Amino acid sequence: MRRAEEMRLLRLWYELATGGRPDYTFEDALLDYRRSVLYCHVYTVIATGFLNPSNERGMAVFRAWLQRRSAAIEELDAGELMPA
């Protein structure tokens, strides 16, 4: 679902938030969005420390988070924003 609607929703947010301000382009918004996807992945990493491996439901939620966030990072090529 994210893939199907992501750019449309980002563009809608951009138009509503900026009202056409020329000093913050859609490209700026996309770059900030890509950075935020990386930042949100930190929550997945932190959550790992609180997981109880014997809780199957918790592990399933964690795996879903990891798969979805990893897919977003890859599809948005957000990894290229990481410092070398």
Q: Using one digit for the tens of pLDDT, what is the confidence trace for 5-51?
A: 999 999 999 999 998 788 999 999 999 999 999 998 888 888 888 88
Per DSSP, the three-state class of 19 is coil
What is the value of pTM for the model shown?
0.81
Q: Tell me how far apart the alpha carbons of residues 20 and 79 are, in angstroms, rounded to a whole number.
A: 29
pLDDT band at 1; cut points 50, 70, 90: low
What are the sequence ranges of the domains in the chain? 2-81
**How many other CB atoms are there within 10 angstroms of residue 40's CB atom?**
13
Whether residue 76 is predicted with pLDDT greater than 70 in this model: the reply is yes
Output the DSSP codes for 43-73.
Answer: HHHHHHTT--TT-HHHHHHHHHHHHHHHHHH
